Copies of this chain bind each other. A is one copy, B any other.
Amino acid sequence: MTVVYNRVALIGLGLIASSMFWSIRRGNLANEVVGYARSKKTRETAKRIGLCDHVPDNLEETVNNADLVVLCIPVGVMSEVVAQIAPYLKAGSTLSDVGSVKKAVIDAVEPLVPANVHFVPAHPLAGTEHSGPESGFSTLFDNRWCILVPTSSSAPSAVERLTNLWTGMGAFVDHMDADHHDLVLAVTSHAPHLIAYTMVGVADDLSRVTDKEVINYSAAGFRDFTRIASSDPTMWRDVFLSNKDATLEILGRFTEELFSLQRAIRTEDGDMLFEYFSRTRGIRRGILEAGQDTEAPDFGRSLIDKK
């Protein structure tokens, strides 16, 4: 593949940044990738495992002369970091991010971006329940979607170049405006995560059922909730705080719907339940056809070759 950027800087070395590095290297999409993490321990891990070509000890050196800087940090600290790096960003370079929320990021970051830097917000819809510099792997973005949310100040050439990077990393690219992105993600990701966290919390709290029982008998459905509910707590706290309105709207709809199903159970309305459960199968079929999951039964997941 063709080199898309000469020098890429990744700020924050968690699941997404480390997967980006391995994926960029796989596709030879950049001549040099520089990485930075606030924690010294993470930087040392990165050096040890060969994550990034260079791991400086400070932000200034990290973004120095970079053609693309990607913020791979929790949404809640992005503006603080952008304020620090803004003076050192190269003229004509692109600043992007991978945050799960877009409106709040744009509101917080865009005013701080120098006029000669292109800001192109992005959100790759890929992840696992693991986090940290050792959790990344080169195939994370293959056949997953990356949503770009260009603002009025994103130059089309900068958007195109970032598109080439994500395509090179194996992703499909789509565009959306920030509000719509945040609503779509509230449905497909944020509300499901909160619900999973809640269900796991309830199980943990229930004194009449022991933790051991919950753990041993989790294969019956609960297990998938625990996987979702073991995602990075800092990231998810920031997601809910910064996509508050859309998440609360979807949770409101969810509660309304849950109450109607609870009522059907209480009144023993079997027809309503059957009809409802039949309808939801259709969406599943669509996901299989779109290649966003496999038909394999939900276990025996084999380890993926890393790197």
Contact = CB atoms under 8 A, between A and B. Distances in A.
A1 interface: no
Given A277-B229, A284-B129, A284-B229, A221 B192 contact: yes
Interface in A274-302: 274, 276-287, 290, 292-302
A206 interface: yes
Interface string A202-240: 111110110111111111111111111111011011101
B128 A298 contact: yes
Nearest to A273: B237
B197 A276 contact: yes
A49 interface: no
Given A199-B192, A255-B258, A292-B218, A274 B234 contact: yes
Interface stretch (A27-35, A158-166, A242-250): A242-250
A204 B145 CA distance: 20
A154 to B, nearest CB: 21
Given A197-B277, A261-B197, A280-B201, A287 B223 contact: yes
B130 A280 contact: no
Interface string A167-193: 000001010000000011101111111
Given A188-B218, A200-B283, A292-B219, A129 B297 contact: yes
A203 B188 contact: yes
Contacts of A241: 265, 268, 270, 273
A112 interface: no
A284 to B, nearest CB: 4
B202 A250 contact: yes
A132 interface: no
A58 interface: no
A171 B136 CA distance: 34
B301 A219 contact: no
A213 B195 CA distance: 20
A264 to B, nearest CB: 8
A130 B205 CA distance: 31
A60 interface: no
20 contacts: A128-B298, A130-B295, A130-B297, A174-B216, A187-B206, A190-B221, A191-B199, A198-B261, A206-B253, A214-B283, A219-B293, A223-B292, A224-B228, A226-B280, A229-B283, A233-B278, A237-B274, A248-B265, A297-B301, A300-B304
